[in-house]
Amino acid sequence: MTRLALSGKSRMVARRGTPMAPRTLPDLMVRGLSLSGLLVFWWALAWLKADPMVLPGPWTVLPRLGAEAVSGALWHHLGATLWRVAQAFVAAMSLGLVLGVLMGLLPKLNRWLDPWLVFFLNLPALVVIVLCFLWIGLNETAAIVAVAINKIPLVTAMMREGARALNGQLADMAQVFDMSRMGRLRHILLPQLAPHLAATARSGLSLIWKIVLVVEFLGRGQGVGFKIHLHFQMFDVTMVMVYALSFIVVMLAIEALILQPLEARARHWRGA
């Protein structure tokens, strides 16, 4: 009987000759372990600092979070912030998508609007928020408009790149075969823009909720930003962390349950 030395790769072959896939952990488990690591890191830092006034540990924050949830206050303020995020997100994505695609497809329009885009991209978020509150008033409309204005230029810039990368041959094919406008939009344009839309939505959501918090911090009477402002004035770091953490959890859930599945659906044909 002859024995052959096996390379590392050869050892990955099962007895019947079928290749064995390398063992990898499921994405969900990796995500859970990674976040657990972050929790342990926070725990260790709080333990080392040993001053709950400056850095409360999970053992201090989590019971307060539970109490806030049971009282109903947490849900009320989370809901208010989430509603503002949703409105600003829809407004910014819709307007940014249309503007970006038009600027990407129409070079003449792009020549005229590009300086505006650069101007608004470089306008500090805080300036827009303050001006909206001054011009429109300390109300809900001003809050949503301020957030949307901050985000629209970024969506426009990203969608413009998506529109510039559109496949001209497919557009020609659609024209020759006389596809309807709706057919072209649904089967030619949107599938090509989908990866850009998904990337813009993910980056947009994370940016929008941060700006919403600033808006609430400066001029609203409810929402996570308002609560953070309130507890900041009382130097209650634990409650600041309660509200910040709870909203991060909501955003992680939206990312995992809505945005990632949507993105996977848009890209499913690549893996086919």
Q: Which residues bind another protein (CB under 8 A)?
A: 169-170, 172-179, 183, 187-188, 191, 269-270, 272
Cα torsion 199, 190, 104, 95: sign: negative
Identify which of residues 192 and 260 has a Cβ nearer to another protein in the complex: 192
Q: How far is the CB of 101 from another protein (least distance, A)?
A: 18
| Residue placing its CB nearer to another protein in the complex, 63 or 191 | 191
CB 195, CB 165: distance < 8 Å: no
Q: Compute the least distance from the CB of residue 63 to another protein, in Å.
A: 49
Q: Which is nearer to another protein, 15 or 270 (CB)?
A: 270
- The least CB distance from residue 197 to another protein, in Å, is 13
> What Rg, from alpha-carbon coordinates, does the chain have?
25
Between 64 and 187, whose beta carbon lies closer to another protein? 187
The structure tokens listed for 160 are 């413009």
**19: β partners:** 13
User: To which H or E segment does residue 76 belong?
Assistant: helix 73-105
Helix-, strand-, coil-residue percentages of the chain, each rounded to 5: 80, 0, 20
Strand ranges, E, within the chain? none
Please identify, using beta-carbon distances, which residue of 187 and 231 lies nearer to another protein: 187
Q: What is the chain's length? A: 272
In whole angstroms, the minimum distance from the beta carbon of 170 to another protein comes to 6
* Closest distance to another protein from the beta carbon of 15 (Å): 30
Q: What is the nearest approach in angstroms of another protein to the Cβ of residue 106?
A: 17
100 Cβ contact list (under 8 Å, min separation 6) = 155, 156, 157, 158, 159, 160, 161, 162, 163
If the CB atoms of residues 131 and 194 are measured against another protein, the closer one turns out to be 194
Q: Under a CB-based contact definition with an 8 Å cutoff, are residues 191 and 99 in contact?
A: no
Nearer to another protein, 7 or 169 (CB): 169
Query: Cα–Cα distance between 257 and 27 in angstroms, integer?
Result: 13
What minimum distance in Å lies between the beta carbon of 162 and another protein? Answer: 15
Task: Name the residue nearer to another protein (CB basis): 141 or 167.
Answer: 167
| Least distance from another protein to the Cβ atom of residue 175, Å | 6
181 CB neighbour count, 10 Å cutoff: 9
Separation between Cα atoms, residue 230 and residue 68, nearest integer Å: 15
Q: Distance from first CA to last CA of the chain, Å, rounded?
A: 44
CB atoms within 10 A of CB 162: 21
